[in-house]
Amino acid sequence: MEQPALGFIGIGVVGTALATALHNAGYAVVRVYSRRRDRAARLASSIGSTQAVDRPQDVVDRCELVFLTVADGAIRPVCESLTWNPGTAAVHCNGASSIDLLAHAAAGGARVGVFHPLQSFATPEQAAANIPGSPFGIEASDEDLLDVLRQIAADLGGTSFVVRGDKAIYHASAVMASNYLVTLLDLAAGLWEHLGFAKDEGLHALLPLVRGTVENLASIGLPDALTGPIARGDVGTVERHLTVLRKVAPHLVPVYKELARRTIPIAQAKGTLDRLSDRRLREQLEER
């Protein structure tokens, strides 16, 4: 399959990382545009064969596949500000939205698609390191573009899957697994301050445990990866947790209880929770 000439409109974390990764995979990234010209110029300098342009229309006019890697709320208005033609494909990278955001491009005859890296990007450098091997949620207005996006994912060392149905469901799942894990670890690491440690020290101590859990999930899956007091039916330990949390961090009691309640069915599926422990745990976790 012949590789299309690529262009990027929007040079933030995702745009920078994806353009760099595709260049490293052998793709021709020929035009880039950013409202902050210094970003586009810096990316063009690092890639070498790319030209930073002053107008986003210059990207559309010279590229076969244009990635709109602008802020999520800007995708539709940026798309609608441009003139599209049948020789171009417009693709956005927003995981929560469908190709509907690109209706204006489709009306101009362009093919439209979605190419969403199912990955966590905090900085351009970290994002570029994480992209290879990532899964990509894709969608396209026709099979030819879908094949192109599948090939791009494969050339990045990753896999791809077509997201059907409400994209917000898919994105909510990703947010819960990634963003809210950060929130949970912020709360967990904060408890170490009651032991005389800094939060960063608590986080550093907890990370090997988190990595081990992720490895267990990858190797043995759900529900077998579940460990801990709920899995063991250890009512006494859960009671001690709640007692101390009420003293030092009462705001965490509802969070702890809700997570514990949601963990009981997983322990049941694993087959390690007997009926008596199940009943006593539910009593302990009742709202009061």
Give the C-alpha distances (Å, rounded to integers) separating 255 from 214, 230, 261: 21, 15, 10
Give the integer Cα–Cα distance in Å for 89 and 108.
11
Give the integer Cα–Cα distance in Å for 26 and 31.
15
Decide if 237 contacts 230 (C-beta within 8 A): no
Rg of the chain taking only CA atoms, in angstroms: 24
Decide if 94 contacts 72 (C-beta within 8 A): yes
Give φ, ψ of 139 to 5 degrees: -160, 145
**For position 286, what pLDDT does the model report?**
86
**For position 287, what pLDDT does the model report?**
66
Cα end-to-end span (Å), the chain: 63
Sheet holding 111-117, edge to edge: 51-52, 29-33, 6-9, 65-68, 89-92, 111-117, 135-140, 159-162
Give the C-alpha distances (Å, rounded to integers) separating 87 from 7, 64, 111: 14, 7, 8
The domains found in the chain, sorted by start residue, are 6-166 (3.40.50.720), 176-284 (1.10.1040)
The answer for 132, left when phi > 0, alpha when psi is -120 to 50, beta otherwise, is: beta
Residues 6+ apart with CB under 8 A from 31: 7, 8, 50, 51, 53, 58, 59, 62, 63
pLDDT in tens, 38-59: 999 999 999 888 999 999 999 9
Q: Residue 15: which H helix or E strand, with range?
A: helix 13-24
DSSP codes, 195-208: GT--HHHHHHHHHH
Residues 6+ apart with CB under 8 A from 166: none
Which of 121, 114, 87 has its CA nearest to residue 16? Answer: 121
Task: Report the predicted TM-score, pTM, of the whole model to 2 decimal places.
Answer: 0.90
Helix 179-190 / helix 199-220 crossing angle, nearest 10 deg: 130
Residues in the chain, pLDDT under 50: none
Give the C-alpha distances (Å, rounded to integers) separating 31 from 7, 50, 68, 283, 284: 5, 6, 12, 62, 61
**For position 288, what pLDDT does the model report?**
61
Which of 89, 131, 95, 141 has its CA nearest to residue 116? Answer: 95
